[in-house]
Amino acid sequence: NFTLAPEAGSDALRASINKPIPHESIFETVKGICKQGWNNIKLYFMIGFPGETVEDVIAIRNLCLEINKYGRQINKGRFKLHVSVNILIPKAHTPYQWAAFESRESANQKFDLIINDLRKQKIKVDYPDYDAASLESVLSRGGRELSDVIFNAWRKGARFDAWREGFSPEIWDDAFINANINPTDLNSK
């Protein structure tokens, strides 16, 4: 695989996140990759940036469809596009540290705008489990107050939580309740 991380679908949003790579440059890079014989390209994107619009989300889908069409033409159908769309995890000490984590409803609407059309074109699409992403957001912005939550979750069996099959939101919910901490408060900073 050849991997590119445009992060956002539109020029305007990429510029606002300080990744001012124009659409034409992304497309020209993909052309060069395909002409060099690469058959597999993976693209990374994020949703949930402050100021993101529906048009920005649709631009992710459109860019992927355009790249897929071109790759199939150049490589005579022997082309695979793999797209990963994640939710922005606001982290401390970054420009987005005070941004709220994307709501479940909004994230699902955005995933629907992107994923359905891509899968119809046989484009592989990965996206995160919302509860796992939300937990990551809480843990990345929390402090010492979360030590009891983490310890209690571990005691109740939280282990390989990075894998969907190993993640149990119920264990974490109980750990937050026992520590008397509302994770929503940390995600809505």
Q: What is the pTM of this model?
A: 0.90
pLDDT digits (tens, 9 = 90+) for 44-89: 999 999 999 999 999 999 999 999 999 999 888 789 999 999 999 9
Q: Do residues 44 and 84 make contact, with C-beta atoms less than 8 angstroms apart? A: yes
Q: Do residues 68 and 121 make contact, with C-beta atoms less than 8 angstroms apart? A: yes
Res 189: pLDDT: 57
Q: Determine whether 63 is exposed, middle or buried from the number of CB atoms within 10 Å of its CB (0-12, 13-18, 19+).
A: buried
pLDDT digits (tens, 9 = 90+) for 120-153: 999 999 999 999 999 999 999 888 989 999 999 9
Q: Determine whether 180 is exposed, middle or buried from the number of CB atoms within 10 Å of its CB (0-12, 13-18, 19+).
A: exposed
pLDDT digits (tens, 9 = 90+) for 155-185: 998 887 776 777 889 999 999 999 999 888 8
